């Protein structure tokens, strides 16, 4: 794990005064019921799409220490126009080794092995794949597999892509609330199983059957997926998140992928590994993908 990874991991544990108030105090948790409601996020979203919201951009760049040299130079029409900005060509390059598993997005990565009973643990909270997918038969297909959680923070690039060539098997949208995805919320709420989310089930060329899920977050009622075609290519853009940090969750079946040991070790130490879209995070397993028994 390099110096940059350690620094970012530590920064992710800092929560601003509002978030600490909402999640760590009794009055805050009463107010949280209002803030996590979808109408509030929609109102907030209307402002972030307005011309007036452009006034927030300069301070946000400075506070989040965003390197704007990575991004196309343009005048933004709103804060959300800035937030969903595109990188310059060549800034997010996918591995040319097709057996490599690339990251679908920028983010802070946690890797968890899925147990035989289709559960996994993240930062002290236990999740079931069924609660995540709300489809028990599908969840059972990922028993013994791998769950990857990419937590995006406001300084990250907020567009995401497909990791391999393949085709769409099915898709689903689950209505929910909108908790923050910062670690502070995970101590009290199973945020990934409660938040609004969308996912597709994919048949990929090199990594078998997989799930890619987008999870909304506090003040992010908008998961903007592009209209899906039946097939896709490695590196094709799938969509983007509007304002705020959020999360991509990926599920792979048993023996489909080998995740780099460093990522598992960082997870065991309660650390997140910093990745960029297209970075190699593992590879295709050479073992035959088989049903878990």
Task: Report whether pLDDT(179) > 50.
Answer: no
Bridge partners (DSSP) listed for residue 252: 146, 210
Assess if residue 290 is contained within a domain.
no
Per residue in 190-232, pLDDT tens?
444 456 789 999 999 999 999 999 987 655 547 889 998 899 9
Q: Are the C-beta atoms of residues 254 and 292 closer than 8 Å to each other?
A: yes
What residue numbers bound the domain in which 209 lies?
Answer: 1-284
pTM: 0.79
> Cα–Cα–Cα angle for 81, 236, 74, nearest 5°?
25
CA distance 4 to 8: 6
Assess if residue 292 is contained within a domain.
no
Identify the residue whose tokens are 């023996």. 255
Task: Report whether pLDDT(142) > 90.
Answer: yes
Assess if residue 110 is contained within a domain.
yes
Assess if residue 30 is contained within a domain.
yes
Reported as type and span, the H/E element at residue 163 is none
Catalytic residue among 53, 78, 81, 106: 106
Mean pLDDT computed over every residue of the chain: 79
Helix (H, G, I), strand (E, B) or coil at 66: coil
Assess if residue 245 is contained within a domain.
yes
Tell me if residue 106 is catalytic: yes
Q: Are the C-beta atoms of residues 77 and 100 closer than 8 Å to each other?
A: no
Average pLDDT of the residues in 75-96: 91
Domains of the chain: total: 1
Catalytic residue among 53, 78, 118, 246: 246
pLDDT given for residue 115 in this prediction: 86
In sign, the C-alpha dihedral spanning 46, 49, 55, 56 is positive
Assess if residue 249 is contained within a domain.
yes
Assess if residue 291 is contained within a domain.
no
Per residue in 31-50, pLDDT tens?
445 555 556 666 777 888 89
Per residue in 106-123, pLDDT tens?
999 999 899 887 777 665
């Amino acid at each position: 794990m390099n110096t940059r990874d350690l620094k970012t991991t530590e920064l992710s544990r800092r929560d601003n005064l509002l978030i600490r108030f909402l999640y760590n105090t009794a009055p805050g948790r009463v107010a949280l019921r209002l803030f996590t409601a979808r109408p509030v996020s929609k109102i907030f979203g209307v402002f972030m799409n307005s011309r007036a919201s452009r006034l927030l951009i300069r301070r946000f760049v400075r506070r989040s220490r965003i390197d704007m040299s990575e991004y196309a130079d343009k005048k933004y029409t709103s804060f959300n126009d800035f937030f969903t900005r595109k990188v310059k060509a060549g800034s997010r390059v996918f591995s040319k080794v097709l057996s490599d598993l690339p990251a679908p997005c920028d983010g802070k990565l946690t890797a968890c092995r899925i147990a035989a009973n289709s559960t996994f643990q993240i930062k002290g909270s236990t999740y079931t794949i069924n609660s995540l997918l709300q489809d028990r038969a599908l969840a059972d297909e990922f028993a013994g597999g791998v769950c990857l959680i990419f937590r995006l923070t406001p300084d990250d690039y907020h567009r995401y892509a497909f990791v391999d060539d393949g085709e769409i098997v099915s898709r689903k949208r689950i209505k929910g609330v909108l908790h923050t995805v910062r670690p502070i919320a995970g101590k009290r709420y199973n945020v990934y199983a409660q938040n609004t989310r969308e996912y597709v089930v994919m048949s990929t060329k090199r990594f078998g059957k997989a799930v890619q899920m987008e999870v909304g977050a506090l003040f992010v009622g908008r998961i903007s997926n592009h209209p899906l075609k039946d097939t896709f290519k490695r590196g094709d853009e799938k969509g983007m998140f509007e304002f705020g940090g959020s999360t991509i969750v990926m599920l792979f079946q048993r023996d489909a992928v080998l995740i780099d040991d460093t990522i598992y070790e960082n997870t065991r130490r309660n650390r997140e590994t910093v990745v960029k879209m297209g970075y190699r995070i593992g590879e295709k397993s050479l073992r035959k993908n088989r049903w878990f028994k």
